[in-house]
Amino acid sequence: MSDIQNLYPNAVEIPEIETLILNKLHEHKFDLSKTIWGTSFCSDELNHSLIFLSQRFAAPGPFNFGGLAGYPFTGKTGFNAFASHIPDDGAAFIMYGPHIGLSTSAGIGLVQREAMAKSSFCCGSLIGGLNTIKNHALPKFNAKGDQQQALVLDLLSNHQGKILESDEPVVSVTEIAYQEIRREMLSIVEACSGALGNHKLVTLGGVIINTDDGLNDYFDVRDFDAF
């Protein structure tokens, strides 16, 4: 817990994020019975800790924008599809961001998963990218059979100097990922604003902090934006 507070002072336990979100949506006069939601988080099953929010929104949800590292790989096509699902006189809410493991025993970038004796990497995509950069072994962008990771590596390679100089490189690549995900998500929203019509949209960006099995995960609250 002390590591979480030191690294992410604005982090709240996942169960507490619900109240924060609901207050923000009520502030914008959302009717939750006509509001759909989506996420742009990493494919890692650990990030399903937020799935309980679906009970607050219309439709099964959430619409999944994210792939490896949480980058919104569905792009404009995905957003246009999502926007077309908004109920009549309804609204939409999107959460986005990367994730990082913080194990009480193994430290930063690792978590103890259910029924596993050893800790494992989290986020595996970002740590894989970090290790590739450390080894100066960046592949071509269009790496066959691994296109998503190729793009993650391409994005991280633009910050190679900062990453290699960092005292906490896992934290550094997570922060870089957040900025890249936020930039792309807002760019998609701007480019596809016409698809929203008169529907309102609120987005929340942050970092999911995964902890060891049996403990609550956290969400580091960063940016609320309304459209």
Kindly report the three-state secondary structure assignment for every residue of 18-35: HHHHHHHHHHCCCCHHHE
State pLDDT tens for residues 53-95.
999 999 888 999 999 999 999 999 999 999 999 999 999 999 9
Q: Would you say residue 139 has pLDDT above 90? A: no
Residue 36, strand partner residues: 92
pTM for the whole thing?
A: 0.93
pLDDT of residue 223: 97
Structure tokens at 65: 């924008």
> In 3D, which of 128, 75, 119, 77 has the Cα closest to residue 101?
119
Count of residues making up the chain: 227
State mean pLDDT over 4-13.
91
> In 3D, which of 114, 133, 65, 122 has the Cα closest to residue 94?
65
State pLDDT tens for residues 144-188.
788 999 999 999 999 999 999 999 999 999 999 999 999 999 999
> In 3D, which of 42, 50, 64, 61 has the Cα closest to residue 18?
50
For 1, other C-beta atoms within 10 Å of its C-beta total 12
Question: 84 φ, ψ to 5°?
Answer: -75, -10
pLDDT of residue 141: 54
Q: Would you say residue 1 has pLDDT above 60? A: no
Share the mean pLDDT of the chain: 94
Structure tokens at 183: 């930039």
Band (104; pLDDT cuts 50, 70, 90): confident
Helix (H, G, I), strand (E, B) or coil at 202: strand
pLDDT of residue 164: 93
Q: Domains in the chain and their CATH numbers?
A: 1-226 (3.40.1050)
pLDDT of residue 135: 87
